[in-house]
Amino acid sequence: MRNLYQGATGDWEVVIGLEIHAQVISESKLFSGASTKFGSEPNTQVSFVCSAQPGMLPVINEECVRQAVRTGLAMGCQINLRSVFDRKNYFYADLPQGYQISQFKDPIVGEGVVTVDLEDGSTKDIGVERLHLEQDAGKSMHDQHPSMTYVDLNRSGVALMEIVSKPDMRSAEEAGAYFKKIRSLVRYAGTCDGNMDQGSMRADVNVSVRRPGEPLGTRTETKNVNSIRYVMMVIESEIRRQVDVLEDGGTIDQETRLFEVATGTTRTMRSKEEAHDYRYFPDPDLLPLEFSQAFVDELAKEMPELSDAKKARFIKDLHISAYNAGVLVAEKESADYFEELLSATVEKSGKQVSELGTMVSNWVTGDLFGALKKLGKGITGSPVSIAHAAELLSLQVDGTISGRIAKEVFENMLESGKSPEVIVDEKGLKQVSDTGAIETMIDEILVANADKVEEYRGGKEKLYGFFVGQVMKQTGGKANPQVVNQLLRPKLDG
């Protein structure tokens, strides 16, 4: 399928590449022993090394190396046993060394491919060009003082993984799906918390347009976009802008742009830098980073199960639908919640995993997700504990309550926080399966509605539902529908 954009003068194709910056989960910084903790007082997590005091030298954090390798493995990328740290030279207030230690020619992770799920149920392979380790910069605050910018170096030197895609994406949707997929992978691998609010993940978005079949157009780079939705907005807005410029006979400047949340559009950076000339060269304070294949193999062995493998297992072993499996594995926390709930329900109900998979997955993706959405909460903020949820599902499985009652009990659980067993007891919601009682009830209903019985027997079979309804009405919905069916049909059929 091709994504083409209709301009006034014909179709345009968009070419998108993303550079995702993902903050590595580590205790201390990439080259200094200062803490990486978020949200501390300004400049309290700064050492002489990360404030670039004279004579200070970098020493690499081995966990950051492991994290980069794990992420590379998660993306199915080649791991380079030898990589080199380079200096990227430029001046900025929050770059204390006057250069960023990064990897230019020889990154720690090479090429790979990730598969993303699209809205229409199709998938697409997006190439990963590379992943390299680099230092984060500090933070500049421009709005604290009328004539000064304040600089906080707490972030300076925190390890980042820059994950560079190939220019394989052709729509905002694909780019959004790719970003989401990378976020999911690093979270599964435990290498980045994916927390966009805290800036743990952000993307530089490269967009260009061209006439189908023509060579690549000039691209713009929109820096530091910190949500998946914004990435998609940047792309939509850049497509419109670039197509408008080109159709008016203009040209696109290769430039860095900024995203303005208020307008949902991008603009040229006011501090227009001269053409970038970063003067990369190998950092003489560091030797090349080398490790053995055994080091990589050991990390591969310890890798947690990732989303694609989990999804396949859910489908194969638990017999749940591909759709449900996809929804569950999209976030590591939902997959974890589902698996814990499933095993708790198995234990509680004594049924087999394969018998319960579909039911539990339907409940999580349907009832629970629906309720959380209404509450504006994520799975980790769920007001319903695994134990309570398992209890609820078990009551349904063993026939104590019906599916309809289960929904009612769930509503109550959300409000009261009580356990489902307590709610069922208090409200007397136990399903009536006493055949004697139900039979008596049916006999009475048949007598009271003798005319309808005649009509039914005369061929108006639709009336069957009426009789079931009468039984349910009289039992307050608690009659076991199976028992009702078993008794009602023979009596009506005479």
* d(C-alpha 85, C-alpha 57), whole Å: 14
Give the position of tokens 């799906």: 177
What is the nearest approach in angstroms of another protein to the Cβ of residue 1? Answer: 38
Angle between helices 386-397 and 403-416 (to 10 degrees): 160
For another protein, give the closer residue by CB, 62 or 461.
62
Q: Which is nearer to another protein, 287 or 387 (CB)?
A: 287
The smaller minimum CB distance to another protein, of residues 58 and 420, is found at 58
CB of 229 to another protein, least distance (A): 22
Nearest distance, CB of residue 51 and another protein, angstroms? 5
* Dihedral sign of CA atoms 227, 230, 234, 236 in order: positive
Beta bridge partners of 117: 123
Provide the 8-state DSSP code for 28. Answer: B
* Residues paired with residue 222 on neighbouring β-strands, in sequence order: 205, 257
User: Measured from the CB atom, is 70 or 87 closer to another protein?
Assistant: 87
CB of 49 to another protein, least distance (A): 7
Closer CB to another protein, residue 124 or residue 257?
257
CB of 276 to another protein, least distance (A): 9
**255 burial type by CB count under 10 A (0-12 exposed, 13-18 middle, 19+ buried):** middle
219: DSSP letter: -
Q: Which is nearer to another protein, 154 or 208 (CB)?
A: 154
d(C-alpha 367, C-alpha 361), whole Å: 10
- The string of DSSP codes covering 288-311 is PEE--HHHHHHHHHTPPPPHHHHH
Alpha-carbon distance 86 to 135, whole Å? 11
Q: Which is nearer to another protein, 192 or 289 (CB)?
A: 289
Q: Which DSSP category does 109 fall into?
A: B
Least gap, CB of 322 to another protein (angstroms): 39
Instruction: Give the shortest CB-80-to-another protein separation in angstroms.
Output: 14
CA distance 408 to 400: 14
In angstroms, give the least distance from the CB of 286 to another protein.
5
CB nearer to another protein: pick between 65 and 445: 65
| CA–CA separation, 485 and 462 (whole Å) | 14
When the beta carbons of 93 and 448 are compared against another protein, the nearer one is: 93
Residue 175 CB, nearest approach to another protein (Å)? 24
Show Cβ contacts of residue 115 under 8 Å, excluding neighbours closer than 6 positions: 123, 124, 125, 126, 181, 308
Q: Residue 213: which residues within 8 A CB-CB, separation 6 or more?
A: none
Nearer to another protein, 92 or 466 (CB): 92
Nearer to another protein, 197 or 277 (CB): 277
Q: How far is the CB of 402 from another protein (least distance, A)?
A: 53
- Token look-up 């304070």 returns 285
Q: Which residue has the tokens 């394969």?
A: 354
Q: How far is the CB of 79 from another protein (least distance, A)?
A: 16
CB 71 within 8 A of CB 55: no
Which candidate, 336, 351, 328, 349, places its Cα nearest to that of 392? 349
In whole angstroms, what is the distance from residue 81 CA to residue 434 CA?
71
Q: Residue with structure tokens 């329900």? A: 345
Show the beta-strand stretches assigned E in 211-315. 220-225, 256-260, 265-268, 281-282, 289-290
User: Which of 323, 331, 334 has its CA nearest to residue 188?
Assistant: 331
**Judged by CB, which is closer to another protein: 57, or 294?**
57
**Euclidean distance between CA atoms 181 and 173, whole angstroms:** 12
CB of 134 to another protein, least distance (A): 15
